[in-house]
Amino acid sequence: RALAVPEADIEAIHDNFDQNFVLPVDLIDNGAIEPSVAGPMGGLTLPVLLETLKPVFDELGPDVDDTAFMAALPIAQAFVQASIKSKAAKARAETIVTAAIEAAGMSPVLELPMGMPFRSAVEKSGADHLLFVIHPRDSDWALTTIRKTADSFENRADLPVGWAGLANEELEDACGVPGAKFCHNARFIAVTATRDAAF
């Protein structure tokens, strides 16, 4: 498959793409809804942006519409392909995360083989006991929190207040973990030198 869509996920990804990409574009394009429903972002919706590629009123000639269409086509195609590719990647990630949740048992820490979308698999599996996710990065490990809901910045558990904004020796002293490298001020991510330090 050109966009790496898993065979088992083709129908679900197609339906998701149709409902969450094609339908909204179609509704705006056909005047069923106004771009203004997007608030201040209304002028940045895909249909409005593609509309800006149309010839202006005094750009005349027999081929101006075709030329404009051909200029817009690869842009629209890039967004379509990126959307499908992203949905396929999320489906692949969900399979990996679901297996990792089973392997984690009742541990509050979910270990993944790399950074990837994990929220939907955690929700679908009902793994309410999970509080943190760890995974390797280029040369270190990340420890991230899990949000309570997809549309909130509130976490199931925050990293300790005393770690906020600390790095290297200061963080090691504060948490008592050799290899602790950094904790974000907002306490939703920390970085460690090793897997053991992340745990």
Structure-derived torsion over alpha carbons of residues 150, 147, 153, 18, reported in degrees to the nearest 10: -20
pLDDT at 50 exceeding the cut of 70 = yes
Residue 90 neighbours by CB under 8 Å, 6+ apart: 117, 120
Residue % of the chain over a pLDDT of 70: 99
> Does residue 4 surpass a pLDDT of 80?
no
Average pLDDT of the segment spanning 133-150? 95
Cβ neighbours for 105, distance < 8 A, ≥ 6 positions apart: none
pTM: 0.77
Domain boundaries, the chain: 7-92, 131-198
Q: Is the pLDDT of residue 129 over 90?
A: yes
Identify the helix (H) or strand (E) that includes residue 134: strand 132-136
Residue 187 predicted with pLDDT over 90: yes
Per-residue model confidence (pLDDT) at position 2 = 63
Is residue 185 within 8 Å of residue 164, measured between CB atoms?
A: yes
Residue 1 is predicted with a pLDDT of 55
Q: Which residue has the higher pLDDT, 162 or 151?
A: 162
